[in-house]
Structure 1
Amino acid sequence: MKRILILANNDIGLYKFRKELIQRLVKNYKVYISLPYGNYVPELEDMGCEFIETPISRRGTNPITDLKLMWHYKEIIKNIKPNLVLTYTIKPNIYGGIVSRISKVPYIPNITGLGTAVENEGILQKVTLFLYRLALKKSHCVFFQNKENERFLTSRVFIKRKRLIPGSGVNLHQYSLLEYPHSTETHFLFIARIMKEKGIDEYLEAAEYIRENYPYTRFHVLGFCEGEYESKLREMQKRKIIEYHGMQSDVKQFHEFAHCTIHPTYYPEGMSNVLLESAASGRPIITTNRSGCKEIVDEQKNGYIVEEKNSLDLINKIEMFLKLKYEDKKSMGISGRIKMEKEFDRNIIVNSYSEEIDKILG
């Protein structure tokens, strides 16, 4: 049986966003997964994957640590002799790509976002782009999740073959169209890692203004909290401006009562899964004019687009949403669902991978 090796930086993303692809792969291939141990590893093993524990410093820039990762990938490829390597996220794409190239193993990287190292000019950007040149040159095909990432990288790095896919897509059965809630209060959701670049400051500022002027509104915050925001969230919850729910493994229960998802990010996204899942559930969305987010919104049809880092624009769009009639809000949600069915069905991604894999493995 031919062998496929998947390199990733965490189990959560692999299980939640690549599960359907893995389910298809294990039917025909022996599938190995290389990533740090996490709670979803047993689920992936139950699907038929063989797990190889691989420590990764996701945001660290220590060259010694990264060299150890590259050496680890070299040993893995030497031992299991894969017929194909699939990589996701920056470090697996770069170091897994370089080792696959050296080992002369076909490989397919997925650019899930360029990250701040590439987006911000400086020495780190130059080093990262140099590494991308080494990693991507001999790839069979590079998958991009949005056009701006594709334009930026292909203008600086030679890529012989590429495909644009709609992010990770969304499982339309798992995130089915929910009944739009009838309630006297209007509930907004923020779902993201609680960090500056995800737009939490703009969300909190908007929540404070809107709650003061529209007391029938409720603002919810879901996600793992970076330490610097913990006290601020607790203080704003005490003042009843927000409701902080912490990290949630299943957000569907929140979509059931929510009227709108707000994602004011300016983080370098591939394609926002938060927005895809919200739209698939029939919820209008408000997000920034940023690649990986703006593609999911048809302005005033299924949501609104705001300028990044602009709290006043966010407040304005929230007020526009609040002034809509119930049926118009509901219609927005349905339009979002239709858009997901046409453009972002996860089967599109699974089929794209299957086509490329068949070209290599037959």
Structure 2
Amino acid sequence: MKILVFANFGMGLYNFRKELLEALINQNNEVYVSLPNDEYVPKLEKIGCKFVDTHLDRRGTNPLKDIKLLINYMGIIKRIKPNVVLTYTIKPNVYGGIACAITKTPYITNITGLGTSIENKGLIQKVTLKLYRLGLKKASCVFFQNKTNQRFFIDNKIVKSNTRLIPGSGVNLELQKFEKYPMIDDNIKFLFIGRIMKAKGIEELMEAAELVKVQYPNVQFHLIGGSEENYYKKLDELERLDIIKYHGQQNDVHSYIKQTHATILPSYHEGLANVLLESASSGRPVLASRVTGCIEAFDEGLTGFGFEAKNVESLVEAIIKFINLPYDQKRVMGIYGRRKMENEFDRNIVISAYLKEIKKTVEKEKHNESIREVS
């Protein structure tokens, strides 16, 4: 069987879906990955994927480029003739879905989050929703990572009954293994992992770090992630003042999680935040916005603390609350977080759901083909 995957970049595909790709390959399927060429492509090829170089402007709104992407997707489908297509993130979901519908190819979609284009009301939201209706109309199954996103798509009549809820991308419990909590230390270390951009709450985090450092000068704020928006000047300034330590893009985030006391994510919106799952799996408490995609990943007061998104005062309050917790309470929070991941977010749950839906989709297509042949 041939399985084609449409995605927008290699990092997400490799870090969060590698085990699914390996499971499909181990079942003797040919797995093709269509995405822009990046440093993760050799890793994907190493596990057995066949790479299809596909230019994609992740944040662009040029309709001519998007039409070109649609035509490109149709060409890829016609050339490979997959039995089923898997799509991830907005543009592959929309244009990959339309391409599959036109070519009458079965496909399964994953809504990894609403994204800024839908979260921000206005013309772009209306256009995006219309495109999503076209892209998801013929989908065999649409996976959602949280109930709120699922309800939004149903209420807006983008999808009907062919939906299924999964625990995000899940977490690899062996890779993100439980780590002993750092020894008692006056220098509490907080960690942010994510793209350096407004929607991730980076502005609130930087302001909160400045305020907290006035009261607690020994506290450290470590930031990991590539800067997708122009924050370099501010990052440099805060680093010179010893407010933050910016580590740029890192491939091995687990080694950083291991050394810190808690992870902070002040995001405005998420599908289901992988950084929170990985941190909790490693035995670290999490501090996160009380927004869909974050609140599912922690239990208030038991495995972490929540705060209001876009609210510096609320963020500072949560940080100080954590700083003042007794050491043993911090450590136990991490233990409970790991337990929550084991019970609710094991990546094998996601893999099983995909294998089941792929099998059902392919069998249904075979049944339809046999009916067409008879008629």
Instruction: Quote the residue 1:38 is aligned against.
Output: 38
User: For residues 187-216 of structure 1, what are the alpha-carbon distances to aligned partners after superposition, in whole Å with 9 as ceiling and x for unaligned?
Assistant: 011111111111111111111121111122
TM-score by length of 2: 0.94
Tell me whether 1:90 sits opposite 2:97 in the alignment: no
Instruction: Quote the residue 1:57 is aligned against.
Output: 57
How far apart are the structure 2 equivalents of 1:193 and 1:102?
34
How far apart are the structure 2 equivalents of 1:256 and 1:89?
29
List runs of 5+ in structure 1 lacking aligned partners: none
Q: Is the 8 A contact 1:186 1:218 kept in 2?
A: yes
How far apart are the structure 2 equivalents of 1:118 and 1:184?
42
Q: Single out whichever of 8-17 and 224-233 deviates more from structure 2.
A: 224-233
The one-letter code matched in structure 2 to 1:197 is A
Is the partner of 2:287 in helix, strand or coil?
strand
Instruction: Quote the residue 2:103 is aligned against.
Output: 103
Q: Is the 8 A contact 2:6 2:34 kept in 1?
A: yes
How far apart are the structure 2 equivalents of 1:158 and 1:198?
27
Is the partner of 1:246 in helix, strand or coil?
coil
Instruction: Quote the residue 1:204 is aligned against.
Output: 206
Q: Is the 8 A contact 1:70 1:95 kept in 2?
A: yes
User: For residues 2-36 of structure 1, what are the alpha-carbon distances to aligned partners after superposition, in whole Å with 9 as ceiling and x for unaligned?
Assistant: 11111001111111100000001012311111100
| Distance change >3 Å, CA 145–CA 81, structure 1 → 2 | same
Is the partner of 1:207 in helix, strand or coil?
helix
Q: Is the 8 A contact 1:223 1:245 kept in 2?
A: yes
Q: Is the 8 A contact 1:137 1:160 kept in 2?
A: no
Q: Is the 8 A contact 2:84 2:107 kept in 1?
A: yes
How far apart are the structure 2 equivalents of 1:117 and 1:243?
31
Aligned 1:180-259 pairs, distance under 5 A: 180-182=181-183, 183-226=185-228, 228-259=230-261
Q: Is the 8 A contact 1:93 1:135 kept in 2?
A: yes
Q: Single out whichever of 157-166 and 87-96 deviates more from structure 2.
A: 157-166
User: For residues 38-73 of structure 1, what are the alpha-carbon distances to aligned partners after superposition, in whole Å with 9 as ceiling and x for unaligned?
Assistant: 111111112111111000000101000000000001
Q: CA deviation at 1:110?
A: 0.2
Q: Is the 8 A contact 2:197 2:229 kept in 1?
A: no
Percent identity, aligned pairs only, is: 53
How far apart are the structure 2 equivalents of 1:66 and 1:210?
44
How far apart are the structure 2 equivalents of 1:300 and 1:85?
41
The one-letter code matched in structure 2 to 1:255 is I
The one-letter code matched in structure 1 to 2:17 is R
Is the partner of 1:274 in helix, strand or coil?
helix
Q: Is the 8 A contact 2:10 2:36 kept in 1?
A: yes
Tell me whether 1:24 sits opposite 2:23 in the alignment: yes
TM-score by length of 1: 0.97
Is the partner of 2:275 in helix, strand or coil?
helix
Instruction: Quote the residue 2:114 is aligned against.
Output: 114
User: For residues 218-267 of structure 1, what are the alpha-carbon distances to aligned partners after superposition, in whole Å with 9 as ceiling and x for unaligned?
Assistant: 1111111245211111111111111111111111121122001111111x
Tell me whether 1:124 sits opposite 2:142 in the alignment: no
Aligned 1:331-350 pairs, distance under 5 A: 331-350=332-351
Instruction: Quote the residue 1:260 is aligned against.
Output: 262
